[in-house]
Amino acid sequence: MTKDMTQTGWNFDNSYVRLPEIYYTRQNPTPVHAPRLVVLNHSLAHSLGLKVEYLQSEDGVAVFAGNRIPEGAEPLAQAYAGHQFGHFTKLGDGRAILIGEHITPKGDRVDIQLKGPGRTPYSRGGDGRAALGPMLREYIISEAMHALGIPTTRSLAVVSTGEKVIRENDLPGAILTRVAASHLRVGTFEYAVRWGSKEELKTLADYAIERHYPEISDDESKYLLFLKAVIKRQASLVSKWQLVGFIHGVMNTDNMTISGETIDYGPCAFMDTFDLATVFSSIDREGRYAYGNQPYMALWNLTRLAESLVPLLDENQDQAIKMAEEALGEFGKLYQSHWLAGMRAKLGIFNEEDEDETLIKELLDLMQEHKADYTNTFKALTLGKLEDNVLFGKAEFDDWHAKWQSRLNRQEESKESSRELMRKNNPGVIPRNHRVEEALEAAVEGDFTVMEKLLHILSNPYEYSAEQAAYCTLPEPSGLPYRTYCGT
């Protein structure tokens, strides 16, 4: 163990840099003027085996700012492509640099990436920088997702840079340190099949399998099994998004990971009023990535992955396409199975009956018709406190409620067991959009206490504590819809 590892905890072993050079460009961050630590994720740092005292020191902050390269790191910008709102384009890390891969005390390999560390060869005219507000948004939402039990990249730290970035206005600059199982994307494979050789595509696929699905690495059908494994993980992931009302906002193929983690918290948000057509992103003018469309968009993205893998599936292209189509055909069943299981749990149902899907749909239809809050409706059902819910007193809801109670009575488990199941699957609190904005506005002005309190509240969403109550209220009515922005 080197002296640097002993003092800092950093333990780099970089495998991506050993891939063919078409997949990256070696690139150091551009130093910033006056970095200052804004927020540090202590629990994540401990789990990574990093020394918190060092991370808070001048040298530690210099690493987060890109001003210092830790021992063993090999900074690079990754190349990839992507379908952005359906249109294919060549991309790459335009404002991100992978510092290296850190090995945790448990032996897990994770990417350590800086977002906003300056220009790269893939910046396409951009400045490579990031603003404080969007970086703190990613920190808040990614940590909330982690607390909700949803696979996600995580945020280790945010530093302010002491510099301004120019967007519509001059904004305070910042750099976020992101931790991910990897940054391999559907778009990485699209890039490989478009600009690489078949051998380079095969090398990438072998690397992805070894890193994320090593159990299939020796199978003669490993590329098909790889496709099926990614489909399976994404079906599970998107079902979890739907179950908590999370709207990603920019489900381009470069924002879908091979690992099955949620990535890129740009124009994301959580739904208040239940509506399948909910869109928050300012750039999604046609509703392509609306809440109700997310499962279909996941399948669309996975189809692009399958197309990229066709050359590896079988020497006979027709046979390869048939294999890919059969694998993709499983997505709908996998997604529906995960979603139904999750919805049953949200309603305290332990076993399966054919009519359950109808029961669930009837409730969601009522919520949409009467503009009921998604999270608070399930919370009210969990607590048995329906008085303040907009559905209370509606005859059709009373009929539904009677059906639901009858359904619960037909299972062996007690009502108390059902209630406990519901508590574990219905968060008492989510990152309400107005609360997130409140925290970001205060932070940009230099007051980080609002964000710290919000992060504390969101760290245990299933606690149902009294202090959560103030964070469950809805925003004041507004004539303008809530809009999120990608922050680039």
List pLDDT tens digits, range 440-485.
Answer: 999 999 999 999 999 999 999 999 999 999 999 888 876 556 666 6
Q: Is pLDDT above 90 for 49?
A: yes
What pLDDT does residue 483 have? 67
What pLDDT does residue 4 have? 64
Q: What is the mean pLDDT of the chain?
A: 95
pTM of the model: 0.95
DSSP class of residue 267 equals S
Residue from 274, 306, 303, 301 nearest 290 by CA:
274
Cβ contacts of 305 within 8 Å, gap of 6 or more: 186, 189, 190, 227, 230, 253, 256
What pLDDT does residue 487 have? 59
Residue 381 or 486, more confident: 381
Mean pLDDT score, 299-323: 98
Mean pLDDT score, 308-334: 98
Mean pLDDT score, 415-432: 97
pLDDT band at 223 (very low <50, low <70, confident <90, very high): very high
Task: Note the pLDDT tens digit of each residue in 274-298.
Answer: 999 999 887 888 889 999 999 999 9
What pLDDT does residue 486 have? 62
pLDDT band at 405 (very low <50, low <70, confident <90, very high): very high
Task: Note the pLDDT tens digit of each residue in 92-121.
Answer: 999 999 999 999 999 999 999 999 999 999
List, by residue number, the catalytic residues: 254
User: Quick check: 182 and 210 in contact, CB under 8 A?
Assistant: no
What pLDDT does residue 480 have? 56
Q: Taking the CA atoms of 190, 192, 197 and 201 in sequence, report the sign of the dihedral they define.
A: negative
Rounded CA gap, 328 and 227, in Å? 9
Residue from 256, 227, 152, 197 nearest 19 by CA:
197
